[in-house]
Structures are given as structure tokens and as C-alpha cells.
Amino acid sequence: MNILLRGAALGASLLLATLTSAAAQDWPSRTVTVVVPVPAGVTSDIVARVVFEQVGRQLGQSFVIENRTGAGGTIGGNTVAKATPDGHTILVWGAIAAANALYTKLPYDTLNDFTPVAVFGQTPLVVVTGAGRYKTLGELVAAAKAEPGKLNYATVGAGSAAHFGAEQLAVAAGFTAQHIPFKGSEWLTEVLAGRLDFSVPPMPSAIGLIRDGKLVPLAVSSSTRSPSLPNVPTMVEAGLKADAVYPFYTAAFLPAKTPHTIAEKLHAEIVKALAQPSVQARLTAAGVDPMPMTMAEFGAFFKKDIANNLELVKAAKMPTQ
């Protein structure tokens, strides 16, 4: 009897392995929806379009970008968390850990409802201000300390990289400032006009205006200078400690119950796309630096990032929602 049961169990395991392998071979069998929970033109959107254009060519299938915004990106996140786990719905997001820390009543479990698949790259944030306002990061910090709470900073919304990057800067430098969130690119108009004091956006969102001389870069939020802005000092070079740097990356996730073989195949195709010189050139031009990781390494990194963002919200006394 035991032999029969063991045989049945072995047969079931072999069948499952065969079906799982077949699923990966057949994937993708139709158009893949790539959900980006931020507006068009924001870093995650830019990166998703560059990378999945190449992945689509590699696989001979369409990957359609769908900007599903709202509630700090959690609407788009929930769409993927609840999607059929067959690899045909992908989440690309750079602020998933921040949203987890900021929103206390999420419709999904960030750690258990997603499979971290691949990192596209890390994007240094850059502290910017309008022309003629501050010449150095030291000047901005001094002004903020001189009048606590008077300075304000612009972002594309609560939970965005710019939001958490600015709060990381404020905590590390020892000042407070008012958060003024906007929808889309309106923040640029306000900072350019000098009506708001500064912002800490991902580099792709600001690099064009920096190169045109309309925005003044005070420092980059990274451990080394960015090849895209080699003359701009890091926050450490500008006089702050290393903990002033907020790590911002863009990555792909699948629903948690997606077969591992499909997740592995997607990871491999993304890595292949990132190795293409044309993709590398476009990402570099957008201010995105390589951040190579295996799936296992990314999984461990993601858990640590979740914890770090929770700590930042507490340290900055950021209001949760």
C-alpha cells in the first residue's frame, strides 16, 4: 500500500513538474500587460518602456504598458497582486517598499503577494532647485535649519521616490520641510518658477532641465558620482553622512503564485535585454545605472528594503495613510 502511495505521489510530482515546464515553454502565449502604477514620463514608466520593448522583440510577443495610477501606486499594485498568476500581468514599480511603509491598510500583502523577479537598475535621486535659489546643498540645509519647517519640497505624490528621498535627506541633515505633492509633472513648474524650494526626484525626471540649465543640481543621492552628471557631488561629498542616500531602483514583480519557471524565464529575458548595448545606452542617457542581481539576491534585498522604508517613516514621523 505504501509503495502504491509513494508511486502515486511520485507520479503526481512528475506531472506537476512537466506541466510547470510546459507552462514556461508556452509563455508568453498572448499579449503581456505591464502595469506601471505611475504616470507616463516618470522613471518606472521610462524604464519599463525601454526594457520591455526589447523583451518583446526577443520573445516575438507584445508587451503593453498600462499606466494604472492612483492611491500612491497601490491601485496598480493591487491589480497585479490579484491577477491570474500565469505571467501575463507584470508589475514594474520603483516605490513598492515606500508604499508598503506609508499605507497601513493595503489591499495586498507586499511581501507575500508578489514574486520579486528582476531589477532593471538603480536611479540616483538628485536634489534640485530653481535657478538663482541655492548654489550648494550646504546652503539649502543651512536655510532649512535657520527656519525649521518653512522650506517646502515638491514631489509627484505621497510615497514617491522624491517624497522618501527628501525625507531621508531631512532626517540625515537634521531639518524639517513641508511636503507639497502634485500629480504628474506639475512639480517641475513650481520648482522652476521658484514657488517651491527644492525637490529630490529620480534623475530621469530632471536631467533634461538640468542639462538645459533650468534646474540647478545640488547633489546626487548615490554612493558615487553619476556618469550622467559627473560634475555634481554626491551627498557625502556635499557634507552629509552616507545615511542621507535613499536607494531608488526599478524592478519587475509577478503575482506570488506564478510558476517559478515562468518567473525564471522572465528574469532571464530581462537580463538579456539589459545586456543589449542599445538598451544600456538609453538607460544610461536616462540616468539609470546597472544593478545586477540574481532572483535570490533580489528577493533578499527586497525584504531588507521593506524594513528600511518602515524605519524611515518612523524616524521622519511621516503621516501614514
Q: What is the pLDDT of residue 12?
A: 45
Q: What is the pLDDT of residue 56?
A: 98
- For residues 184 and 166, give the distance between their C-alpha atoms in angstroms, rounded to a whole number: 17
**First vs last C-alpha separation in the chain:** 57
Q: What is the pLDDT of residue 185?
A: 78
Three-class DSSP category at 179:
strand
Q: Start-end ranges of CATH 3.40.190.10 in the chain?
A: 125-244
- For residues 154 and 163, give the distance between their C-alpha atoms in angstroms, rounded to a whole number: 8
pLDDT digits (tens, 9 = 90+) for 20-76: 455 578 999 999 999 999 888 888 899 999 999 999 999 999 999 999 998 889 999
The CATH number of the structural domain formed by 125-244 is 3.40.190.10
Residue with the three cell numbers 545605472: 289
- For residues 128 and 192, give the distance between their C-alpha atoms in angstroms, rounded to a whole number: 10
- For residues 209 and 225, give the distance between their C-alpha atoms in angstroms, rounded to a whole number: 19
pTM, two decimal places: 0.84
Q: Output the nine-digit C-alpha cell for 94.
A: 520603483
HSE toward the beta carbon, residue 97, CA cutoff 13 A: 26
Q: What is the pLDDT of residue 43?
A: 83
Written as tens digits, the pLDDT of the chain (321 aa) is: 555 555 554 554 444 444 445 557 899 999 999 999 988 888 889 999 999 999 999 999 999 999 999 888 999 999 999 999 999 999 999 989 999 999 999 999 999 999 999 999 998 999 999 998 999 999 999 999 999 999 999 998 888 889 999 999 999 999 999 999 987 778 889 999 999 999 999 888 888 899 999 999 999 998 888 888 899 999 999 999 888 889 899 999 999 999 999 999 999 999 999 999 999 999 988 888 899 999 999 999 999 999 999 999 999 999 998
Q: Start-end ranges of CATH 3.40.190.150 in the chain?
A: 30-123+248-316
CB neighbours (10 Å) of residue 223?
A: 12
Q: What is the pLDDT of residue 205?
A: 82
Q: Output the nine-digit C-alpha cell for 276.
A: 543589449
Q: What is the pLDDT of residue 204?
A: 81
Fold type of domain 30-123+248-316: D-Maltodextrin-Binding Protein; domain 2 (3.40.190)
Q: What is the pLDDT of residue 99?
A: 94
Closest to 270 in 3D by CA, of 119, 67, 77: 119
Distances (CA, A) of 248 to 58, 135, 228, 309: 27, 25, 16, 11
Closest to 153 in 3D by CA, of 223, 201, 100, 81: 201
Q: What is the pLDDT of residue 195?
A: 93
Q: Output the nine-digit C-alpha cell for 16.
A: 506537476
Q: Output the nine-digit C-alpha cell for 257.
A: 503564485
